[in-house]
């Protein structure tokens, strides 16, 4: 999985990743992938990665009928660069990514940045 970050300027601060997940095996995802992901983050020495929300999808309100998601997860990263470092690392692809693929049937990721309004 090659990650590209168009229109993201270095050093612009934290980003929030919205993960939309359809599970293949929820137990693998939470009991194996998440600890493996945390191990990768620790080994890479990246601080400030925090899960902000894990939430079960209970109904589609404005979505295509065939668009079904099990849960959303929002993870804060200290920067877009930190996310890219993790996602493109050999450690991630060796340790965590196989478990992510085993646990998820479908995944969409959206990089967001908090805005004040």
Q: What is the pLDDT of residue 11?
A: 66
Q: What is the pLDDT of residue 117?
A: 85
Q: What is the pLDDT of residue 15?
A: 94
Q: pLDDT class for 9, splitting at 50, 70, 90?
A: low
Q: What percent of the chain has pLDDT over 90?
A: 74
CA-to-CA distance for 75 and 53, rounded, in angstroms?
7
Please name the residues in contact with 50: beta carbons below 8 A apart, sequence gap of 6 or more: 75, 76
pTM: 0.88
Please say if the pLDDT value at position 48 is more than 90.
Answer: yes
């Amino acid at each position: 999985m090659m990650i590209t970050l168009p229109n993201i300027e270095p050093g612009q601060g934290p980003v929030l990743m919205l993960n939309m997940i359809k599970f293949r095996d929820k137990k693998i995802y939470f009991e194996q992938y998440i600890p493996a992901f945390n191990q990768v983050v620790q080994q890479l020495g990246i601080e400030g990665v925090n899960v902000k929300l894990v939430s079960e999808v209970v109904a589609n309100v404005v979505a295509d009928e065939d668009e079904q998601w099990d849960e959303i997860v929002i993870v804060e990263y200290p920067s877009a660069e930190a996310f890219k470092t993790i996602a493109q690392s050999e450690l991630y692809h060796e340790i965590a990514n196989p478990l992510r693929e085993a646990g998820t049937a479908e995944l969409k990721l959206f990089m967001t940045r908090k805005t004040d309004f």
